[in-house]
Structure 1
Amino acid sequence: MLLLLAGLLVAACNRSGSQTDLSPTLTESALATAADAVIQPTVPLNPTSSPPPASETPQLPQPSPAVDITLAGDPFPLLPAGYEISIQEVALVTPDFGWGLAPGEGGIYHILRTDDGGETWREITPPQPLTPNSSWLYPSVDFYDPDTGWASYSGTDLIWSTHDGGRTWQPTRLEYTAYLGGLIHNLDKDRIWFFQFVDGGMQKVNTVLYSSQDGGHTWTKVLDPFSDAVIQGFDKTGVDFYDAQYGWLTRFFRGVTPQISLEITSNGGSTWESLELPSPPSGIDVFSTCACGLYDPHLDSKTAGSFRLTCQCGSAENPLIKSYLYQTFDGGNSWEIVSIPEGELLHISAGIYYVISQEIYRTEDRGENWDYIKTVNWDGQLSFADKLTALGIAFCQEDDGSALVKTKNGCATFQLIEPKLLPSFTVR
């Protein structure tokens, strides 16, 4: 099976042209710096509007006390030990512990955990009831540590919390149903936010925002989905909170507005203010002529943070993709804007980022210089536990094939993993 997966990725994902054709298991010396990969930052620019002033914390409604919930319907069936799993999403929390999502029968995505860096997995899916019309059930998941995590399935009004690594789960019934999925973000094991996407249309993705201050035992609705809050518009792509009050939200603007903004809250999400951003230095006005979005937000403090701007210009058949790293050190009064290679931006620690695509780059000086690391012949989703250790999925777009890969040396080489499913310890 392992050789079959390796052959699939090498043979089916071959690319024509000058791109080097490498399988995930090649071991050539990496970190060769490409001279043409060095990209210089621009002079800091002033934004077109000032960041929102700090506001007093509003008096929020008190959370409802936790109550026992009667669940109708049989819970998701657990996958049997030895089932051939195809993991489609991973998150590595520590070098050993991580979680993943794998499809089973009937369009159900199962939640798995690993405690040995990806070699073996156990299912920890909560006892979410099946519904008669369920045809595709995908969860939003987040874990703070190996014991503490949260999950909510699309098409349901439940959010689940675990404090024993997925052995048991506590459900909470919410006011609305997440018809369009959701986004869970934790600050620590006690403070969590859940952006629940309940409806859409007319360039809106109506969003309920809930927060918990007790690890998910109780939840408070802090933002109504049918309010006129600015974050109701467009697709939400990422969120980060520095503390219980201050946070950033990023969105994709679909190419329908030239006003590209970062959304900022100073009161835990009850209200949001838009900080309009300066356009990046470019030969064209990308905000007016391209479909732009903000992604991968990260806060180091209330005044220092970063995110990625990516704009797709030209036709859908032959797009020109431009990406930039935005960084501020004064709360958004000015921005350093750096052109970066195309791909997903991953923040590792202060000043250190990876860009992940079929060409992989790393910077250790806040984007002033980018070191070329490796070219691979697959599209990847990687999750880093530290600067060197990452677990990921290698996708072959030509035939929908995928494989689990791991690096322990900062993407210089990749190990192909054939994951093994062990018996579940989740209580049913």
Structure 2
Amino acid sequence: MGLVVTALLGALAWSTGPAAAAASATAGQPAWHLTDTGRTDVRFRGLAAVDRSAAWLAGTKGTVLRTTDGGRHWRDVSPPAAAGLELRDIEAFGTRSAVALAIGEGDASRILRTDDGGATWTESFRNTDPKAFYDCVTFFDPRHGLAMSDPVDGRFRILSTRDGGRSWSVLPSAGMPPAQPGEAGFAASGQCLVTSGPEDVWLATGGGASARVLHSGNRGLDWTATDTPIPAGDPARGVFGLAFRDRAHGIAVGGDYRADRPSPSAAAVTGDAGRGWTPSAAGPPAYRSGVAWLPHSRTAALAVGPTGTDLTTDGGRTWRTVDSGSYDTVDCTRDGGCWAAGEQGRAARLERRGG
């Protein structure tokens, strides 16, 4: 078990607020360490953690940043062709290669790839259907991946790639169940479409009568839909983020993203690949958009949102707020690295100091 996880599963001395976070860090406990991206005018909802030292960010104004030294320096590697676009998701295959997704109606939805650390980018997909709006992209491995759009003609649309995102094709819709009226995905954290292993993928929804999670066990060809206990019935409510530590055990987070609205039952868990979901007994106190399992742990995970970070050490059944900073997305790596990103150019790495 890595150092970060060991600390989190130990004393758990985090508290909300900057002073408490600083005190806990001094005492040897982990805390988010904000890094200087130099872009306070950008909101980063796309995050791809590579390891403890390296990560990619994607955000508003077509911005992509990359660090290889733990966030001490961020390099602007934004695609020139993406200026003015909303980049909401990014998937990385190391420090040199990454795929970024721009969202929006019609041709605002695009996918771009780099193989030289962002020095150059190639546009590999541009949406031509005015009814499509792409929200998230995910990969099973460095070659096979999917992207998802809000429903087109009553069904979620899925793109597939077999060459690492260099080319894309629309999958047949016959295996996709009908969408509910008003149902869509949320491009809030790059976690509305996630994978685990070589075949399994899950899709999160909201806006309809119920907040659902759709699962495919054959790379997006056939899907089953399951209602979750996370509140829906409104365009602002639903499941915003998913994380699976294996093909069976997953966590869903969401709620109502409006700041003046409560978000009861903002988290749920599954132990059967999403066939059934159970509400967290003590969930996060507010809307959460991103979630990640801690490295090498079967029980610990972090959830983030505009009002704070929550920690679970029992597989998502109960949560405790451990930081009050605003983040939209979180990602952890197998070597014990965890990163978070959000509004006003915020990007942070989980660190353990002192002690």
TM over 0.5: yes
Cα deviation per residue 1:278-316 (whole Å; 9 max; x = unaligned)?
A: x48xxxxx66799741232233444x1323254449xx7
Determine if the alignment matches structure 1 residue 101 to structure 2 residue 58. Answer: yes
**How far apart, in 1, do the equivalents of 2:143 and 2:71 lie?**
27
Q: Secondary structure at the match of 1:145?
A: coil
Determine if the alignment matches structure 1 residue 183 to structure 2 residue 136. Answer: yes
What residue in structure 1 maps to residue 350 of structure 2?
A: 407
What residue in structure 2 maps to residue 293 of structure 1?
A: 238
Cα deviation per residue 1:208-242 (whole Å; 9 max; x = unaligned)?
A: 32111121233222046x99842586221312223
**How far apart, in 2, do the equivalents of 1:337 and 1:21 lie?**
24
Q: Secondary structure at the match of 1:183?
A: strand
Is the CA contact (8 Å cut-off) linking 1:98 and 1:146 kept in structure 2? yes
Determine if the alignment matches structure 1 residue 159 to structure 2 residue 111. Answer: yes
Q: Secondary structure at the match of 1:361?
A: strand
What residue in structure 1 maps to residue 284 of structure 2?
A: 341
> Counterpart of 1:29 in structure 2: which amino acid?
S
What residue in structure 1 maps to residue 123 of structure 2?
A: 171
Q: How large is the RMSD of aligned CA atoms in angstroms?
A: 4.2
**How far apart, in 1, do the equivalents of 2:16 and 2:320 lie?**
19
Shift of 1:244: 4.3
Shift of 1:249: 0.9
Is the CA contact (8 Å cut-off) linking 1:353 and 1:366 kept in structure 2? yes
1:284-323 maps to which residues of 2 (within 5 A)? 292-302=237-247, 304-308=248-252, 310-312=254-256, 319-323=261-265
- Structure 1 residues 293, 329: closer, same or farther in 2, change over 3 A? same
Note the residue ranges of structure 2 that are not aligned, 5 or more in a row: 1-14, 28-36, 187-191
Determine if the alignment matches structure 1 residue 28 to structure 2 residue 9. Answer: no
Is the CA contact (8 Å cut-off) linking 2:242 and 2:251 kept in structure 1? yes
Cα deviation per residue 1:95-139 (whole Å; 9 max; x = unaligned)?
A: 111112365xxxx32212111122212232335277xxxxx4112
Shift of 1:320: 2.6
Aligned with 1:111 (options 36, 47, 64): 64
Is the CA contact (8 Å cut-off) linking 1:393 and 1:405 kept in structure 2? yes
- Structure 1 residues 161, 321: closer, same or farther in 2, change over 3 A? same
Q: Secondary structure at the match of 1:320?
A: coil
Is the CA contact (8 Å cut-off) linking 1:249 and 1:264 kept in structure 2? yes
Is the CA contact (8 Å cut-off) linking 2:100 and 2:112 kept in structure 1? yes
Shift of 1:268: 1.9
**How far apart, in 1, do the equivalents of 2:328 and 2:255 lie?**
20
What residue in structure 1 maps to residue 310 of structure 2?
A: 361
> Counterpart of 2:332 in structure 1: which amino acid?
A
> Counterpart of 1:240 in structure 2: which amino acid?
V
Determine if the alignment matches structure 1 residue 192 to structure 2 residue 187. Answer: no
Cα deviation per residue 1:125-156 (whole Å; 9 max; x = unaligned)?
A: 335277xxxxx411242213222211243434
Is the CA contact (8 Å cut-off) linking 1:187 and 1:242 kept in structure 2? yes
Is the CA contact (8 Å cut-off) linking 1:148 and 1:189 kept in structure 2? no
Is the CA contact (8 Å cut-off) linking 1:363 and 1:369 kept in structure 2? yes
**How far apart, in 1, do the equivalents of 2:77 and 2:219 lie?**
30
> Counterpart of 1:408 in structure 2: which amino acid?
E
Is the CA contact (8 Å cut-off) linking 1:260 and 1:276 kept in structure 2? yes
Moved more, 172-181 or 209-218: 172-181
Is the CA contact (8 Å cut-off) linking 1:223 and 1:269 kept in structure 2? no
Matched residue count: 310
> Counterpart of 1:266 in structure 2: which amino acid?
G
**How far apart, in 2, do the equivalents of 1:363 and 1:394 lie?**
21
More relative contact order in 1 or in 2 (CA 8 Å, sep 6+)?
A: 1
Is the CA contact (8 Å cut-off) linking 2:92 and 2:98 kept in structure 1? yes
> Counterpart of 2:96 in structure 1: which amino acid?
D
**How far apart, in 1, do the equivalents of 2:224 and 2:118 lie?**
37
**How far apart, in 2, do the equivalents of 1:208 and 1:369 lie?**
34
> Counterpart of 1:296 in structure 2: which amino acid?
G
**How far apart, in 2, do the equivalents of 1:306 and 1:265 lie?**
14
Moved more, 148-157 or 384-393: 384-393
**How far apart, in 1, do the equivalents of 2:166 and 2:284 lie?**
42
Percent of pairs with identical residues? 16
TM-score by length of 1: 0.59
**How far apart, in 2, do the equivalents of 1:261 and 1:394 lie?**
25
**How far apart, in 1, do the equivalents of 2:175 and 2:254 lie?**
28
Note the residue ranges of structure 1 that are not aligned, 5 or more in a row: 1-19, 33-82, 131-135, 281-285, 396-400, 413-428
Q: Secondary structure at the match of 2:265?
A: strand
Shift of 1:185: 0.7
What residue in structure 1 maps to residue 9 of structure 2?
A: none
**How far apart, in 1, do the equivalents of 2:236 and 2:58 lie?**
30
1:388-427 maps to which residues of 2 (within 5 A)? 389-393=337-341, 395=343, 403-409=346-352
What residue in structure 2 maps to residue 352 of structure 1?
A: 300
Is the CA contact (8 Å cut-off) linking 1:394 and 1:405 kept in structure 2? no
Is the CA contact (8 Å cut-off) linking 2:268 and 2:316 kept in structure 1? no
Determine if the alignment matches structure 1 residue 124 to structure 2 residue 77. Answer: yes
- Structure 1 residues 323, 144: closer, same or farther in 2, change over 3 A? farther
**How far apart, in 2, do the equivalents of 1:172 and 1:394 lie?**
26
